[in-house]
Structure 1
């Protein structure tokens, strides 16, 4: 075997690194951007992502939510106590800030909770911690300003469709599924005006699950 044949054979053993979409951060062959139609909402969503979750490219749904929602922020960190941007968002007088967390004293938004919370400012700002339960727990343990926010929760209407990732409890949903349900509840209670735009969430999620089950998202 000559040198050229040897090098050609070695090249064939190298992994085939695929081009990535710089918007949805996925391989171009399974890019989800064609399904994403950004829209505005009265509710502002602040998605707080643990650095370990931010490094995932296969199944993270927090970034997809941020791409869809014009009125959203995506921040990466662990302890947000001294974070100037988070502090400024909490202090924004145009919004009532709450934390999505199933605490015992949480206001259940499925039970007309939107109306009870938006009376003062008219608009809700929901902080959503994106990550596994252990990563989310660490963020909340360290972030005193987040723990001080009123907690809100919801009652799931159906189990999560996260078929390739086991949820810790039957009532747990992915970030994308949670935000979709929150927008549905807001519309039903007359405080959200997103209309049919929110129906792209299940379409995006179904495609994400399909890609994962087909194994077409490997790196």
Structure 2
């Protein structure tokens, strides 16, 4: 039997987050390339970004043929959020990084596990045309309900929130508050000994 879903946020009625969603006005358009395996993941945060940010779009696929629209993006003012040795570090105050950040109009973000994101990169060579950006220091992971294999893993929501804070000086707290609500509502019916595994350290 399928669960009843909220028609707006698409979470189950018992974990509906509509009352927790705040609208944030961002100037840089966030384009999320979402791996198909993430669509039905109940803990996926990309959907929350699309409901919270005024400039956000989700495109689903895993290869070049699925993301042909990125070919129309301005190469000089579009960045790809992806850890790489060639990436400019958004939290580095050097002149090159600062000047580049001020010119950005689009930010591409890959939504999926590390393995799936890597697959998207390999199967979408046109992504290499864009300047990669990343972080020198990874903020503390607030997304406790979905375990990741790497200590420096961030949810899509956290990665975008931190990026916009660095690039546009947007206050990311409303996004983090929404994420904390997701943490609590996804664990509310767990036995106490199980819920304890997902509490802040």
Same fold, TM exceeding 0.5?
Answer: yes
- Confirm or deny that 1:161 pairs with 2:142: yes
Q: What is the CA deviation profile of residues 12-61 of structure 1, one whole-angstrom value per residue up to 9, with x for unaligned ones? A: xxx5x5421122111122211111122321221111101111122x1001
Contact 2:22 2:52 in 1 (8 A): yes
Query: Equivalents in 2 of 1:55, 1:28: separation in Å?
Result: 15
Contact 1:44 1:126 in 2 (8 A): yes
Query: Equivalents in 2 of 1:205, 1:82: separation in Å?
Result: 29
- Confirm or deny that 1:67 pairs with 2:48: no
Query: Equivalents in 1 of 2:127, 2:31: separation in Å?
Result: 11
Which structure has the bigger radius of gyration?
1
Q: What is the CA deviation profile of residues 185-219 of structure 1, one whole-angstrom value per residue up to 9, with x for unaligned ones? A: 12xxxxx264x4x3211111111111222347xxx
- State the partner residue of 2:34: 49
Consecutive unaligned residues in structure 2, runs of 5 or more: 191-201
Distance of aligned partners of 1:108 and 1:183 in 2 relative to their CA distance in 1, 3 Å threshold: same
* TM-score normalised by L of structure 1: 0.77
Query: Equivalents in 1 of 2:189, 2:124: separation in Å?
Result: 37
Distance of aligned partners of 1:83 and 1:172 in 2 relative to their CA distance in 1, 3 Å threshold: closer
Which of 118, 121, 135 does residue 137 from structure 1 map onto?
118
Consecutive unaligned residues in structure 1, runs of 5 or more: 1-14, 187-191
- 3-state SS of 1:206 partner: helix
* TM-score normalised by L of structure 2: 0.84
Distance of aligned partners of 1:66 and 1:86 in 2 relative to their CA distance in 1, 3 Å threshold: same
Number of positions where the alignment pairs a residue of Structure 1 with one of Structure 2: 188
- State the partner residue of 2:25: 40
- After the TM superposition, which residues 66-145 of structure 1 pair with which residues of structure 2 at under 5 Å, given as runs? 66-80=50-64, 83-88=67-72, 90-91=73-74, 96-112=77-93, 115-118=98-101, 122-145=103-126
